[in-house]
Structure 1
Amino acid sequence: MNAKPDEPDLPTRVVTRDRVVAAVEDALLTGQFVPGHAVTLRGLAAQLGVSPMPVREAIRVLSSANALDVMPNGRIRVPTMTRRRFDELLHARVLLEPHLAALALPNLNAAAGELARIDDAIDESLVSGDVIAYMRRNHEFHFRIYRAAGSEIILPLVEHVWLQFAPFMRTVYGRVGTSVLEDQHKEAIAAIRLGDAEGLRQAIERDILDGMGLIGHSVLDAPPPESGGRREPPQMDPRSPDE
């Protein structure tokens, strides 16, 4: 059956949808979607410079991963974070990511130098207070390790978990600043250089618990800020994510 004149052919639609999925995923991973803040499908399509159709398809993909909610009125939002949801996401990370890193270790022989360069960029973003750059480089560091495992099952699960917790962590970093952030990246790199699977597993677990765990709980357990004194991260602009 031929496509209608006003519809792109299937390959073009798939490419456009995949581009939209990648743009929205990047916005989620860098916290440019604020938890609880709703946007319209047409508004998102306008920001991305595409028609609503590929956006609708991309939203269907991301809502199936629990990264976005589609509300009855058709608006789209990042789910609001609750203590229970946060604890489940944290538990999932601790279960999956250290194991995935250990699986990846045999394929990381030549990766230590690259990981060290990424970690240097992370340190620079912490000093400058560039939260979006920090989140992007932190994601790059972890997934440079995880993708080396060649997992077809565990890796997609970890990717879905990151899409769910990252927007909330952007809110957390905006509240506590970057100066308090610490990681275990150098310990992970040292374990990779030594071929120490257990050391790598422990470094990744501590990185998760010391970073997402302690800081996230400190915000969830704190009394809510007074209205007027809170600054939220900016609304998503996938065309210029670093601005």
Structure 2
Amino acid sequence: MDKLPAHEIVYRRIRDMVLFGELAPGQAVTIQGLVEALETGITPVREAIRRLTAEGALEFKGNRRVSVPELTVAHLAELGFARLAIEPHLAQIAASRMQVIDIEVLEQIDAQVNAAIRQGDVRAYLEQNYLFHTTLYAHSGADILGAMVQGLWLRVGPSLRIVCGRYGTQNLPDKHAEAILALRDGRAADVATAIRDDIVQGQEQIAQALAEAVAPH
């Protein structure tokens, strides 16, 4: 990060705030508030907001305020359709290219995912879970699809944080062990299936959380 330009560092920091739920869906923030929180200048913050707005991770509310879009059931369905079309495909391609050392790296990341679940550490879970998926997909070499996936995760990440807050970390979707076993056995199609099941479980939990949020009490 230290070797990156200042505007890229600010972009990634705000992106992570969205991705890992530090900024909640519907939460309004100001440009000045981000400047103060990140202890940076207004120009890189504006540029980061412009990029994240173009990516759909943020939306303008007027009067220099921006917020994380609130996920609707319809939007969740669109995201699920796109993720299920792309991510298992990337996983299957990656499975045919990965070496033993690459699989061992994934195992180490998954160990951190499991540790976060045991400890109830929501932020660590979200970070390590994201790292597991993006590390796996990176081995596909499909840069365009990989960038699309990161955009989809920016849309769904904040709502996954809500799931963690509502239900805790103990029952979170995790088909990583199945994916790793299939990777070790050279079963690329089964790697794709494990990732597909992982996505479906996560989508179902987010849908349930959204339904409970709007249900009358």
TM-score of the two chains, using structure 1 as the length reference: 0.84
Match of 2:144 among 133, 139, 153: 153
Question: Cα offset for 1:53?
Answer: 0.5
Structure-2 residue corresponding to 1:15: 5
Which whole-Å CA distance do the structure 1 matches of 2:207 and 2:54 have between them?
A: 26
TM-score of the two chains, using structure 2 as the length reference: 0.93
1:130-149 superposed matches below 5 A: 130-149=121-140
Q: Which has the higher contact order (CA 8 A, sep 6+)?
A: 1
Which whole-Å CA distance do the structure 2 matches of 1:136 and 1:226 have between them?
A: 33
Higher helix share: 2
Q: Which has the larger radius of gyration?
A: 1
Q: Tell me the C-alpha RMSD between the 2 structures.
A: 1.6
Please, which runs of 5 or more residues in structure 1 have no aligned partner? 1-13, 228-243
Q: Please give the per-residue CA displacement for 1:39-76, whole angstroms capped at 9, x wherever unaligned.
A: 00011011111111110011111111101001222201
Structure-2 residue corresponding to 1:53: 43
Which whole-Å CA distance do the structure 2 matches of 1:167 and 1:213 have between them?
A: 13
Find the residue that maps to 1:70 and give its secondary structure.
strand
Match of 1:24 among 11, 14, 20: 14
Find the residue that maps to 1:39 and give its secondary structure.
strand
Question: Cα offset for 1:226?
Answer: 8.1
> Structure 2: which amino acid aligns with 1:96?
I
Match of 1:63 among 41, 53, 61: 53
Find the residue that maps to 1:107 and give its secondary structure.
coil
Match of 1:93 among 75, 83, 88: 83
Please, which runs of 5 or more residues in structure 2 have no aligned partner? none
**Contact 2:162–2:209, Cα closer than 8 Å, also in 1:** no
Alignment: residue pair count = 213
1:152-191 superposed matches below 5 A: 152-191=143-182
The percentage of counterpart residues that share the same residue type is: 36
Which whole-Å CA distance do the structure 2 matches of 1:197 and 1:145 have between them?
A: 12
After TM superposition, the runs of 4+ consecutive aligned structure 1 residues lying more than 6 A away are none
